[in-house]
Amino acid sequence: GEQGAEEMENGGSKGDVPEDANAHCPGTQSEEAGKADSCAGCPNQQICATAPKGPDPDLVAIAERMATVKHKILVLSGKGGVGKSTFSAQLSFALAEMDHQVGLLDIDICGPSIPKMLGLEGQDIHQSNLGWSPIYVESNLGVMSIGFMLPNPDDAVIWRGPRKNGLIKQFLKDVDWGEIDYLVVDAPPGTSDEHISIVQYLQATEVDGAIIVTTPQQVSLIDVRKEINFCKKVGVPVLGVVENMSGLRQAFTDLKFVKPGLAGEIDATEWAMNYIKEKAPELLSVVACSEVFDSSKGGAEKMCHEMGVPFLGKVPMDPQLCKAAEEGRSCFADQRCSASAPALKSIIDKLIKTNS
């Protein structure tokens, strides 16, 4: 009750009252902050007097922009190089193929790989009176990335946190997605500045949740645990974990063979294939599988069980998927990604079921 009485005396405090504030503090958001008589000598006086007042007006603009977006999905990873952008790209292709309207937003400011993975390198962003127009792969799949804004694709983006956050805010505020079903956000690895920003900016507009991509090794899983705890702390639901590069699967006929010799290796592929055709043709229809990473500790599935988050499934390492990503193609469009496409498909179906 005492607090209430004091607030009445302050005319109801506006905003937070710092712990070391003077008595009768008007509150940090009040028009009087830093200027009232009671502020004299307070250690916060200077900050209060100069800080911008009221809620961040940009957040209102972001909320308005995001009102036309039904579902927002973040794609995160604890460490780099686990195939997060590949997954974001293929997820977007798959959703678009299901006739959803999809937007893909790349907030990896220093390493934007999305333009290449959607076959959009060298495109420029156009501005209209409605804002920045995304670049469209299909009529129902639009993409936005800092990669489109660099005059030279080899230029490094050497920015400190505030400038990155400013761009992320601008992407959320100014990109004209129109009415879309899904916005997929491809984030940089880790739990740093950009992640806190995107969550903070989207907080008012309800994020469906995050998909976390990992590889099977312990080194990657250690970092995924951090990512899961980040999501729990900032209140973003974890939609599930995807184990990417989960062993290598390759048609036997795609394998190369070498013969080690004293003078170095000799390519023996042609010889081996002819030998197999002649002596064991049944082998030509099998798929070679290899556990590339040590998964003796149970991999991502076991970790999900321990941490109480959904495990969405495994995607094998598939050279054809790498090729599709490099060429900016959907892995679902043809039969080439026979190892990875079905795995990705079942993960995405699982997601849509639980998420619609």
Residue numbers belonging to the annotated binding site for ATP? 78-85
Nearest to 109 by CA among 171, 50, 31: 171
Sort strands 248-251 and 126-128 into parallel, antiparallel or unpaired: unpaired
Q: CB atoms < 10 A from the CB of 218, how many? A: 14
69: β partners:
180
CA distance 85 to 143: 13
CA distance 88 to 117: 9
**Residues 135/116, Cβ–Cβ less than 8 Å:** no
CB burial of residue 61 (10 Å; 0-12, 13-18, 19+): middle
Annotated binding site: 25, 39, 42, 48, 78-85
Contacts of 152 (CB under 8 A, 6+ apart): none
Nearest to 110 by CA among 149, 61, 158: 158
Assign residue 79 a region (left: φ > 0; alpha: ψ between -120 and 50; beta: otherwise): beta
Sort strands 131-133 and 126-128 into parallel, antiparallel or unpaired: antiparallel
214: β partners:
243
Nearest to 146 by CA among 157, 160, 154: 157
Annotated binding site for [4Fe-4S] cluster: 25, 39, 42, 48
Assign residue 276 a region (left: φ > 0; alpha: ψ between -120 and 50; beta: otherwise): alpha
DSSP characters for 210-268?
EEEEE-SSHHHHHHHHHHHHHHHHHT--EEEEEE-S-SEEEEGGG---EEEETTEEEE-
Nearest to 214 by CA among 206, 203, 222: 222
**CA count, 13 A, side-chain hemisphere, 205:** 24
